[in-house]
Amino acid sequence: MPITSEQATTELRRRAATKELERREQEVPEEGGRFRGAGATGMWEPDKPKARLRDVPGIAKRGVVSAELGVAKGVVGTLDAMLNLPAEDVRKVGTPWAPSQFTRTPEEIRERTEPIREAKRKIISAQRKFGRKYSGPLAWTTRVVSEAIPYMGNAMVGGIVAGPVGAATVGFVVEGDNAYDEAIASGATEQQAQTERVVVGSINAVIEAIQVGRILKFAKSGKHSLKAFIKLAKTKGLFIAGKEGFKNFGPDALRLSIEESIEEFTQEGVSLGVPAAFRGEYPVKTDGSPDWWAIGERLGEAALGGAVAAPFLGGAGAVLTEAGRVNGDKPAAPVEVPAEIVATTEPVTSDQAIGQQYGMMNEETDATLQYAEGRFRELKNKDDRSAKERRELTFLKKQRANVEALLDDATSKKPLVPGLVTPEGKRITPATMIVDQLETLPRIQPTEGERRRMGKVGKLLTEAKRWGTYYGLNEDMMLKLTERLDQYMESGPIKRFVYHPIKNSNARARDNSKKIMSGFVKTFEDLGIDFGKMIFNERNDVVAGFPLTDTERIGMYVLAQNEKGRKRVEPWFEDEEIDNAQAVNQVIKSVEISDEEMAIVQEIQTYIDTMSPRFFAAAERMGIEDITKEDFYMMLLTEDQDEISQHPAIEELARNIGRKQIRTPGEKATKERTGTKARARIDMATVLPQMIDAVERFIEVGPVAAKVGRSMDNPKFKKALNNATRGEGYKVMRRWLEDSTRGSADVDNGYFGNIAKNLRYNAVQFVLGFKSLTVAPKQLISGINAMTVRPDIAWSIMKRMARYGDMGALGNLKKDYAEASKKSKMMKSRDWNRDLIRKWDRSDVRKYFQGKRMSRISMAHIAYNDKATTTAVWLSAYEQAMIDLDGNEKVAIQVADDLVTSTQPMGNVEDLPGFFRGNAFEKMMTQFMNQPNKNWNMLRHDIYGKLRAGKITKLQATQRFMTGQIIPAVLLGMITRGRLPESPEEVLKDIASHMMGPHVFFGRFIYNAATGDWDPLESAISAIPFKGFEEGARTVTSAKRGDIQKTIEHGVGTYGAFTGKIPQQLITTTGGIIDLAQGETEDIKRIVYSEYMIKKNKPKAPTGRHRTINRPPVRRRR
């Protein structure tokens, strides 16, 4: 009877193990030694010399090294096991972005992961060098303790970093890998060994988490860093702390020692019991009977290790905790740590973690939930409920298990937990903290009585002030506006609970979308599918007389699987002499017979299935209950509409965010899905990225925006904010929240708006492309802004910029940017220019899936300079913050993110001021004003605002004004003119232009009206979208003059402006070379600047009396 390959492998291993056991029994020495271990894994050990007291340090050292190598072995072995998971198991579990990227055969995977197993073998070999050298009770006790302490220390580190999950991970990795190694050595199959890895590792991981949690609770050691420990030792505070910390050590340590001894005993019992239960494998003597001595020895080692190591580590932590208390009068870190992102060292539940963000202890959070449940039952069983109690019951019915909703319910005057109130009797929540802060601001909004008592002039002045406030608020970045409302505190509640949550959730949504798209690219590559080619590959044979691309047919197939979706597909054929239903069936059949196309369909459906639980979880967090899951769902995007306004889930959320009742996202679309015959978009190449973006935005931004919106819609919030901003603050912040939620301000742009958007997209690249000597240096000046605000990192920024400027070592920037992007989602997902954000049209998608450059080569120098500047600023700020904050990485990342956001060009919607997020006309007035706006925000907030608030001195304000305003103004003027300033008048004009230019419309209008440099109206409104029309008109004019060279130049410029493919600088340089060759000019700058700019910025002839000295006198005739 034939046997399977697995059975054959098992039999061979069994025979090999039996043969090895027989060989070892034959090698038993005639005297001395004993058999250690289980079955075929056991071995005879010769007698060793007994340890003496002087040998203890060496034994302990070897034990520590052996333990740490054991942890390393476990990490490498677990990694190998994960990478060798069968493909079918991976498909069952799924991944967030590429559910079936593991498509290689087991043999291929095994071959690719061989280096990992080789590394593990080397670790095992090194570990054997630190084996046991001595015998006797002293050696045994020292060895056990020295191995137990570092292992438990690693578990504690995991617990400090990631809570119970971290401790459990260490336990799973080490114990599971040991179980796997022992199973393989004893002749188990690969499947049996991996099963024992999972079973032993999982059980012991849970026990390990419990142990570490108890030790951390005993020690509270995570609150002090190694740096603080060294500092205390230098000041001799550690000796005092040791005396205080060990006062109550005895009883607590004894209890902890007993508990840990029992749990370590249990862990070792699991490691012994699982192989015995699964395969009958356990330590045996030479005659095959159980070796109870060996079993007892292993259990005893575990118990002793736990009993000694736990109180040792806990006591050390207690010393550190007490030491921190002793030195508590020392000044705190210079950067204030936001409370909601300070990591906890105690293992907590998810509800307790939320409670800690509100400053609550774990017991208070638990009491909150218990009280809510009890109150709900009390009201439910009550017959005569008042109107207030009915409202309370309705709230608790939905939210009694949602601690975040309970804590955010700021309308409840009664504290949920007795004692969690201010002295005035109010509950402390983010909403109340924000309102309290706003109410400290001076009131500048007239009361109704004051307004009625005003005369006409007073009312006109009040209205003028209101418009001035509105204008100023719409020039403020939201980061700076929230800082101003927080009165420039380091971590005020408005920035912390309004701006940062929205900013960070947007970064996560963009990062997720990029990862998912990258996952699809990788999956299609692994499957050998050229998705980019399919986008433009048309077929005429599927539906006669109706050409369809491959991606359009795939889109039709996916939509047609859903009954409502099919109703939106069939109208595509209604104007043709074709049977609609039959045509759709033909498309479906054409896809089903193609393996590649069906593989794409399967990947898309797998993503939808994978994201569905996340989507519904987000909806539940927002309090939306009536969303139902559809089979074969695909987002319906109506043809010939802009992509933003028809994302029903996002648009409905943006418009109703914060309301007490959010309607089901997409109610209007739900009606359309059942009744309308409007054609749905069918090209999967454009539908897929838009759907991914909408879904990830709903999941990541939606719940956060709902929470922030509830705070904003609090009547007290609205009133306090408007009183401090002449009635305009709420409208500005509400519009920012809606735009940030949807991820774009382009809503209902209309026909003209969409055309202007595309014209602007191409014209910007036409104007900026290849301008390495005029535009790129201006970007580097943005680094001066960062150095002005943070002079302590100026030297670090300059050193990094010098490294990045070395063209022979371009890897410097690549390496540093990768490090920054790994730590900060903002850096990874940031867009630097509002008008160059990826459109995700068919052309973009094809380039992306074919691995081609997304941006044009003409913009590479600008992109490089931007990346270099922001990377240098971010890493310098991050490294300094890590020092200032004693290694608190979360806060350090936020500090670095804020510095980049406030000083460097940012194109993402949540970072743009109100005027920059406006309609097509507003965008024309804010073209190329991103960095000038940063300069204005620095002057308004980081210089004047902080000086007025007392955060900086007059000397610091003067230094900031010189380095942040005067120096950049002169440098920018030099770059624009192509020469040094030749008079004080030019310097003053540079400064005036730098300080007036950032003001939308009025700034450039007033400056040019006063100086006459440019036409005031034309300079105030950018003609960038109409650059192509402007070049076309010049082409016609040049042709009429008979100027062939200019006709060609402007003709090429017309094409370049409309398409963005030929930059203006290329035309200017070509014309300059021709002029130099023909002798039309001798100015070498003509290669860089246009003829018009050279003439305009040509130095003026000297003025003064000496010009008229030699002029002959002129007599007047009478």
Same domain membership, residue 211 and residue 113: yes
Whole-number Å distance between alpha carbons of 63 and 320:
25
What's the rounded Cα separation, in Å, for the pair 940 and 948? 10
Domain stop point among 1001, 1018, 1035: 1018
Nearest to 923 by CA among 1026, 1025, 782: 1025
pLDDT of residue 735 exceeding 80, the answer is yes
Q: Is the pLDDT of residue 1111 over 70?
A: no
The whole-angstrom separation of Cα 1086 and Cα 1092 is 10
Q: Are 714 and 435 in contact (CB under 8 A)?
A: yes
The confidence score (pLDDT) of residue 408 equals 65
**pLDDT value at residue 938:** 92
How many CB atoms sit inside 10 A of residue 886's CB? Answer: 16
Query: What's the confidence (pLDDT) of residue 292?
Result: 53
Residue 468 predicted with pLDDT over 50: yes
Higher confidence at residue 430 or residue 364?
A: 430
Instruction: Note the pLDDT tens digit of each residue in 526-547.
Output: 889 999 999 999 988 888 888 9
pLDDT in tens, 5-46: 555 555 555 665 555 555 544 444 444 444 444 333 444 455
- Domain membership of residue 656 (yes or no) is yes
- The DSSP 8-state label assigned to residue 445 in this structure reads S
Q: Is the pLDDT of residue 997 over 70?
A: yes
pLDDT for 250 beyond 50: no
What integer is the mean pLDDT of 656-674? 45
In a domain, 64, yes or no: yes
Tokens 């060798």 correspond to 84
Check residue 761 and give its pLDDT. 80
Q: What Cα–Cα distance (Å) separates residue 790 from each residue in 320, 872, 903, 960?
A: 33, 13, 11, 10
Burial class (CB in 10 A: 0-12, 13-18, 19+), 621: middle
pLDDT at residue 896, rounded to an integer: 94
In a domain, 570, yes or no: yes
Those residues with Cβ within 8 angstroms of residue 260's Cβ, 6 or more apart along the chain or in another chain:
211, 214, 215, 306, 307, 309, 310, 311
Do residue 961 and residue 1054 come from a single domain? Answer: no
Positive or negative torsion for Cα 269, 270, 276, 282? negative
pLDDT confidence of residue 424? 45
Say which residue, 507 or 625, is predicted with more confidence.
507
Helices (H) and strands (E) in the chain, counts: 52, 4
- Backbone phi, psi, residue 539, to 5°: -130, 135
Q: Which of 398-407, 605-614, 813-822 has the lowest mean pLDDT?
A: 398-407
Among the candidates 396, 428, 460, a domain finishes at: 428
Per-residue pLDDT, 356? 61
Which residue range(s) make up the domain with 1061?
Answer: 1024-1096
pLDDT value for 875:
95
If asked whether residues 1011 and 1035 sit together in one domain, one would say no
- pLDDT of 676 over the 60 cut: no
Cβ atoms 639, 681 nearer than 8 A = yes
Average pLDDT over residues 831-846: 77
The average pLDDT across 275-297 equals 54
DSSP-derived 3-state class of residue 446? coil
pLDDT reported for residue 35: 44
Residues 120, 204, single domain; the answer is yes
Q: What is the pLDDT, as a whole number, of residue 596? A: 92
Write out pLDDT tens, residues 93-137: 333 333 434 455 666 777 777 887 787 787 777 767 666 666 665
Position with higher pLDDT, 155 vs 850:
850
Does residue 297 lie within any of the structural domains? yes
Do both 571 and 710 map to the same domain? Answer: yes
Torsion angle defined by CA atoms of residues 879, 885, 889 and 892, in that order, rounded to the nearest 10 degrees: -60
In a domain, 340, yes or no: no
Question: Minimum mean pLDDT among 134-143, 454-463, 690-699: which range?
Answer: 134-143
Q: Are residues 402 and 540 in the same domain?
A: no
Same domain, 243 and 134: yes
Candidate from 423-437, 483-497, 571-585, 1050-1064 with smallest mean pLDDT: 423-437
Tell whether 962 is covered by a domain: yes
Q: First and final CA of the chain: distance in angstroms?
A: 138
Note the pLDDT of residue 198: 64
How far apart CA 404 and CA 407 sit, in angstroms, is 5
How much is the pLDDT for 707? 86
Q: What is the pLDDT of residue 731?
A: 92
Contact of 452 with 383, CB cutoff 8 Å: no
Whether 963 contacts 933, CB under 8 Å: no
Q: Are residues 1052 and 1007 in the same domain?
A: no
Least confident of 17-21, 150-154, 348-352, 709-713: 17-21
* pLDDT tens by residue, 547-602: 999 999 999 998 888 888 888 888 888 877 788 889 999 999 999 999 999 999 99
Q: Residue 513 domain-assigned?
A: yes
Q: List, for residues 47-76, the tens digit of each pLDDT value.
A: 566 656 666 667 666 767 777 777 777 777
CA distance 176 to 170: 10
Q: What is the Cα–Cα distance from 1002 to 506, expressed in whole angstroms?
A: 32
Q: How confident is the model at residue 476 (pLDDT cuts 50, 70, 90)?
A: very high
Return the C-alpha torsion angle 294, 295, 297, 298, nearest 10: 120
User: If pLDDT is split at 50, 70 and 90, which confidence band does 333 have?
Assistant: very low
Domains identified in the chain, total number: 6
Of 40-44, 484-488, 986-990, which gets the smallest average pLDDT? 40-44
- Other Cβ atoms closer than 10 A to 905: 20
Is residue 1115 in some structural domain?
no
Say yes or no: 527 and 393 in one domain: no
Q: Which residue has the tokens 């992102």?
A: 341
| Residue 823 confidence (pLDDT) | 92
- Rounded-to-5 percentages of helix, strand, coil across the chain: 70, 0, 30
pLDDT digit string, tens, across residues 406-448: 766 633 444 444 444 444 445 567 778 888 899 999 999 998 8
CA distance 942 to 426: 34
Structure tokens at 850: 């074919």
Same domain, 1002 and 1038: no
Average pLDDT over residues 999-1010: 80
Q: What is the DSSP annotation of 867-890?
A: HHHHHHHHHHHHHHHHHHTTT-HH
Is 880 within 8 Å of 800 (Cβ atoms)?
Answer: no
Residue range 934-963, pLDDT digits in tens: 889 999 999 999 999 999 999 999 999 998
Angle between helices 794-804 and 782-789 (to 10 degrees): 150
Residue 478 pLDDT greater than 80, yes or no? yes
Give Rg (Cα) of the chain: 36
Mean pLDDT in residue range 330-344? 34
Cβ neighbors of 895 (< 8 A, separation 6 or more) are 335, 877, 878, 881, 885
What's the whole-model pTM score?
A: 0.60
Where is the domain boundary, 892, 911, 930? 911
Residue 706 pLDDT class (50, 70, 90 cuts): confident
In whole angstroms, what is the distance from residue 54 CA to residue 65 CA? Answer: 19
Average pLDDT over residues 321-328: 40
Do 284 and 391 fall within a single domain? no
| Interval 817-835 mean pLDDT | 87
Phi/psi for 538 (5° steps) reads: -90, 150
pLDDT at 284: 56
Give 328-380 as a DSSP string: TTS---SSPPPGGGPPPSS---HHHHHHHHTT--HHHHHHHHHHHHHHHHHHH
What is the residue-averaged pLDDT of the chain? 72
Closest CA to 319 of 229, 215, 211: 229
pLDDT (average), residues 269-289 = 53
d(CA 221, CA 320) in angstroms, rounded, equals: 6
On whether both 1038 and 1010 belong to a single domain, the answer is no
Name which of 265-269, 823-827, 838-842, 1071-1075 the model is least confident about. Answer: 265-269
